[in-house]
Amino acid sequence: MPLVTYDHLKYNLDSFATESISAFQKNGYYLVNVGLLTNSPGVMFALSYVERVDDSQLHSLKSIFYKLGAKSVTTELNNMNNKIYFQVHVQGASKPGVCTKIYKYIPPLPVILLLVLCLYEMNKEVL
């Protein structure tokens, strides 16, 4: 079981990874699924056997992920083992619910208790 902070089955990441690998294979690249991203819905891939790459090639490789529905793609070049790592965040990340918007406006409980205590002390002095 992967250590992720989201339900990876909800985002259908296995089919996204399979589609990505087949799209890269059609273009003659050897893409490997490294694993799931831990903090947000997404997959990490490694492109092996890379000797030289320029910005236009890197941009065209990223565009393959965007065509498949990626929200954002970040790259990391590793010259030691001739690999390019892609962190691909997928579309459809969970949207905040109604309750999460309400909690932004509610102050923390200690602040409320201090406010009530101050009001009580002020009313006690007035009477």
Residue spans per domain, the chain: 13-90
Which pLDDT value is given to residue 96? 46
pLDDT confidence of residue 1: 47
Q: Per-residue pLDDT averaged across 10-22, rounded? A: 88
Q: Which token pair is 94?
A: 């969970």
CA distance 94 to 114: 35
CATH class for domain 13-90? alpha beta
39-66, pLDDT tens digit by residue?
Answer: 888 899 999 888 888 899 999 999 999 9
